[in-house]
Amino acid sequence: MGSAYDEERERPPYKGGRHFEEVKDFFGGRCCYCGIAFGRTTPAVQDHLIPMNKADLGLHAWGNVVPACQPCNAKKQRADWRDFIIERAGSDAGERHARVKAFLEQYRYQPSFDLRDVAEELYEEVGSIAMTLISTKIKRLRDKL
C-alpha cells in the first residue's frame, strides 16, 4: 500500500537508508517533534507521523516517515502529531508545526482521500465480481434443472 502510493506520486518506494537520510536533512538533522539534534548519543529513529493501524491508516511511505528521537518515538503512540508537538516542543511548537506542514506539502502526503477512493473502488469491483459469480452459479443451477 505504501509503495503503491509512492509510485502514484512518482517516487521510488520509500526504503529507509538513504531515503531516511534525505528525510533527516529536511528536518535539519533534528527530531521533528521536540527538535533535539541527532548525534551519537541521540540516534534518529523512523517514526510514522500518522500511525500505521486500521483506524489511522498511516502508510510506510514518503511524507509519513519522519525522524524522531527515541523518547519521542516511544511516547507518541497514537497521539495526533499536532498535539504531540505542542506537548514536546513547548514554545517551539509553532516552528515545528510549520516544518512538518512543509514536509507534508513537499512530499504531497495526503492519502486519506485517496485511500477512501481506493476502498470505494475495491468495494465496487469486488461487488461486481461477486455479482458475476452469483449470477453464473444461479445460471448453472438453472441449467441443471
Q: How far apart are CA 117 and CA 61, in angstroms?
A: 18
Q: Which is nearer to Zn ion, 5 or 69 (CB)?
A: 69
Q: Does 59 bind Zn ion (CB under 5 A)?
A: no
Q: Which stretch binds Zn ion (CB under 5 A): 57-65, 66-74, 89-97, 131-139?
A: 66-74
Q: Are 47 and 94 in contact (CB under 8 A)?
A: no
Whichever of 34 and 65 has its CB closer to Zn ion, that residue is 34
Residue with smaller CB distance to Zn ion, 50 or 72: 72
Cell 509510485 sits on residue: 7
Q: Cα(8)–Cα(120) distance, rounded to whole angstroms? A: 18
Quick one: 90 or 127, whose CB is closer to Zn ion?
Answer: 90
Q: What residues between 31 and 50 interact with Zn ion by CB under 5 A?
A: 31, 33-34
Verify binding: residue 69, Zn ion, rule CB under 5 A: yes
Determine contact, residues 61/5, Cβ cutoff 8 Å. yes
- Please say whether the beta carbons of 37 and 30 come within 8 A: yes
Q: Which residues bind Zn ion (CB under 5 A)?
A: 31, 33-34, 69, 72
